[in-house]
A and B are shown apart, each in its own frame.
Chain A
């Protein structure tokens, strides 16, 4: 109790110095937390993947299409429960700054395969029935104030032209990580238009989504699908949805590694700053530690006082940082919503933040603790004045 009282009072002895250190640690923890969250967001697509969904795409590259005729053949592979398909549409709303994902999909099968897209039954029916209908996520609808029945116009880039859709439904994600900033419309609408405007591009899909009966069948189904189209004009590459997303992430792995390195560098810098502060503090109090030793207090007591103060300051900054990370993440999610479907701080990030704070306190406190605990009394008592 005495040690706790002394270390807390010592911590507030130089209020400005302590406040600056606490703020420094808090800022570092906010930066660390936000960067870790950014890395998490990067992997979010892979994280929310289902183990019972496979993605089949053109083996050469994602930008090459596959014939629509593959659907029936894929459906016949043993273990396949349902097959859907679609195209990345890449349409632009207003201008490039208003980016959001938009896909042309086969609505019924797609919604079956994605139970995490939660749509009121009436809206689901309306969407499936209306060939020019579309659905959007709640966050996207909120962003633009869209209501059911609104006409949404996208300017096609991959598929040129002005494309009009009638908003038939606004979905919510069953999970927090579910993308709520996307627009889905009928692949048939796209295909029928292409038949008129660019017939050579019609009857082709960008990807097949394959639902399997259980995850254990995924590998076998992928092999069989790819074998089926081996040596055809459009060979497939079938992989789990997670592997598909990880493939995208691998393309940007250098950025992810850079972000991770920066997050650790931030912590390392504040460790050095905090260590300097604690070393300064311990140096100033050497005579006090010597006095306590003179009175009979042992090295353990001194170590607890110095190390405890270091941990106390770092954890105070760390907790403040964790608390401020949440509004920081909310702000990013609001202001940069076009780039991040969700920017939620995960529990693992909070644990990492607290662990980082603990490490800052521990590393900063090691040398001063050793110095305070091992100081020779006679030498320490000479450091007065």
Chain B
């Protein structure tokens, strides 16, 4: 997938550990790798291997103990909480295993959420939201609440919310983990389309080998170490 352009994500010598009481538990050990723009990367590994932690560090929702995380040329480890929040809002789209939609907001309102932090007018926001819902083929359900949608539909709303601010990268943590086979297939096809048609970079954590098959590159993380690559 390399096009000669600099990688969109650069990770160098990344370390992360957690403290449990007096005990320090290392999670990531000297991780170094990069992700090219437009790449669909799957991170696999057993539970507790540090996949989600690595994803959180790339997405700027957690801080490493040491090392560099550069996304789109920005060293996000040097940003403070407020700067990180602004950076995330503009540059990262999130897709969660359990969709994480707000149940009291309609599909439209959920998708609109990231745009509320932008200076866009109400009319402009509406255009963006409708476009995002068209991409996930859910314009007819925009006034439905999450509780009125199936799991697959909820995840499509979550994807629309992730792409609506037009971020550089999308991070997905087990996006098919809570879905039946058919819905999971639809979601993976949609994610493929986001890469191929919209040129998005996707980093996906998954346990599901069928999901990983859709990725361009699969990296295995075991005991905090990235130990092999499948392309």
Q: Say whether B98 contacts A384, CB under 8 Å.
A: yes
Report the separation of the CA atoms of residues A6 and B110 in the bound assembly, to the nearest whole angstrom: 11
Say whether B100 faces chain A, with CB atoms less than 8 Å apart. yes
- Determine which residue in A293, A294, A297, A384 has the highest number of CB atoms from chain B within 10 A of its CB, and name it: A294
Report the separation of the CA atoms of residues A281 and B104 in the bound assembly, to the nearest whole angstrom: 14
Residues of B near A288 (CB, < 8 A) are 100, 102
Say whether A291 faces chain B, with CB atoms less than 8 Å apart. yes
Q: Given A9-B105, A294-B61, answer yes or no on A381-B100 (Cβ-Cβ < 8 Å).
A: yes
Say whether B56 faces chain A, with CB atoms less than 8 Å apart. yes
Name the 5 nearest CB pairs between A and B, nearest first: A296-B89, A9-B104, A377-B61, A291-B100, A384-B98
Q: Given A6-B105, A293-B85, answer yes or no on A384-B100 (Cβ-Cβ < 8 Å).
A: yes
Say whether B12 faces chain A, with CB atoms less than 8 Å apart. no
B116 (CB) vs chain A CBs: closest residue: A2
Report the separation of the CA atoms of residues A288 and B161 in the bound assembly, to the nearest whole angstrom: 14
Residues of A near B61 (CB, < 8 A) are 293-294, 377-378, 381
Provide the B61-97 mask, 1 if CB < 8 A to any CB of A, else 0.
Answer: 1100000000000000000001001101110001011
B113 (CB) vs chain A CBs: closest residue: A295
Say whether B117 faces chain A, with CB atoms less than 8 Å apart. yes
Residues of A near B199 (CB, < 8 A) are none
B91 (CB) vs chain A CBs: closest residue: A296
Report the separation of the CA atoms of residues A37 and B174 in the bound assembly, to the nearest whole angstrom: 61
B176 CB to nearest chain A CB (Å): 15
Say whether B26 faces chain A, with CB atoms less than 8 Å apart. no
Provide the B100-119 mask, 1 if CB < 8 A to any CB of A, else 0.
Answer: 10111100000001101100
Q: Say whether A296 contacts B85, CB under 8 Å.
A: yes
- Say which residue of B89, B104, B105 sits within 8 Å of A295 (CB atoms): B89
Report the separation of the CA atoms of residues A297 and B98 in the bound assembly, to the nearest whole angstrom: 20
Provide the B42-71 mask, 1 if CB < 8 A to any CB of A, else 0.
Answer: 000000000001001001011000000000
Residues of A near B53 (CB, < 8 A) are 378
Report the separation of the CA atoms of residues A292 and B103 in the bound assembly, to the nearest whole angstrom: 13
Q: Say whether A291 contacts B56, CB under 8 Å.
A: no
**What are 10 sample pairs from A and B whose C-beta atoms fall under 8 A apart?**
A291-B100, A292-B113, A294-B88, A295-B113, A296-B89, A297-B117, A298-B85, A381-B61, A381-B96, A384-B100
- Say which residue of B62, B96, B104 sits within 8 Å of A291 (CB atoms): B96
Number of A-B contacts (CB under 8 A): 59
B118 (CB) vs chain A CBs: closest residue: A296
Residues of B near A2 (CB, < 8 A) are 116
Residues of A near B116 (CB, < 8 A) are 2
A352 CB to nearest chain B CB (Å): 34
A380 (CB) vs chain B CBs: closest residue: B61
Residues of B near A378 (CB, < 8 A) are 53, 56, 61-62
Q: What number of B residues sit within 8 Å (CB to CB) of A?
A: 25
Q: Say whether B82 contacts A295, CB under 8 Å.
A: no
Provide the A123-165 mask, 1 if CB < 8 A to any CB of B, else 0.
Answer: 0000000000000000000000000000000000000000000
Those of A13-38 within 8 Å (CB) of chain B: 13
Report the separation of the CA atoms of residues A298 and B114 in the bound assembly, to the nearest whole angstrom: 12
Report the separation of the CA atoms of residues A201 and B76 in the bound assembly, to the nearest whole angstrom: 98
Provide the A294-329 mask, 1 if CB < 8 A to any CB of B, else 0.
Answer: 111110000000000000000000000000000000
Say whether A334 faces chain B, with CB atoms less than 8 Å apart. no
A27 CB to nearest chain B CB (Å): 27
Say whether A338 faces chain B, with CB atoms less than 8 Å apart. no
Q: Say whether A297 contacts B56, CB under 8 Å.
A: no
B55 (CB) vs chain A CBs: closest residue: A378
Say whether A75 faces chain B, with CB atoms less than 8 Å apart. no
Q: Say whether A296 contacts B86, CB under 8 Å.
A: yes
Q: Given A6-B104, A295-B88, answer yes or no on A377-B62 (Cβ-Cβ < 8 Å).
A: yes
B114 CB to nearest chain A CB (Å): 5
Say whether A385 faces chain B, with CB atoms less than 8 Å apart. yes
Q: Say whether B102 contacts A291, CB under 8 Å.
A: yes
Residues of A near B105 (CB, < 8 A) are 6, 9
B150 CB to nearest chain A CB (Å): 18
Q: A294-B59, A294-B61, A381-B100 are in contact. List 20 more A-B contacts (CB 8 A).
A: A2-B116, A6-B104, A9-B104, A287-B100, A288-B100, A288-B102, A291-B94, A293-B61, A293-B85, A294-B88, A295-B89, A295-B117, A295-B161, A296-B88, A296-B114, A297-B85, A377-B56, A378-B53, A378-B56, A384-B96
Report the separation of the CA atoms of residues A41 and B230 in the bound assembly, to the nearest whole angstrom: 84
Say whether A10 faces chain B, with CB atoms less than 8 Å apart. yes
Residues of A near B98 (CB, < 8 A) are 384-385
A299 (CB) vs chain B CBs: closest residue: B81
Report the separation of the CA atoms of residues A384 and B98 in the bound assembly, to the nearest whole angstrom: 7
Q: Say whether A298 contacts B102, CB under 8 Å.
A: no
- Say which residue of B88, B89, B100, B103 sits within 8 Å of A13 (CB atoms): B103
Report the separation of the CA atoms of residues A377 and B96 in the bound assembly, to the nearest whole angstrom: 13
B104 (CB) vs chain A CBs: closest residue: A9
Report the separation of the CA atoms of residues A287 and B88 in the bound assembly, to the nearest whole angstrom: 17
Residues of A near B161 (CB, < 8 A) are 295
Q: Say whether A295 contacts B94, CB under 8 Å.
A: yes
Residues of A near B89 (CB, < 8 A) are 295-296
A367 CB to nearest chain B CB (Å): 21
Report the separation of the CA atoms of residues A385 and B113 in the bound assembly, to the nearest whole angstrom: 22
A293 (CB) vs chain B CBs: closest residue: B85
B94 (CB) vs chain A CBs: closest residue: A294
A64 CB to nearest chain B CB (Å): 73
- Say which residue of A9, A10, A295, A385 sits within 8 Å of B114 (CB atoms): A295
B65 CB to nearest chain A CB (Å): 14
Residues of A near B59 (CB, < 8 A) are 294
Residues of A near B82 (CB, < 8 A) are 298
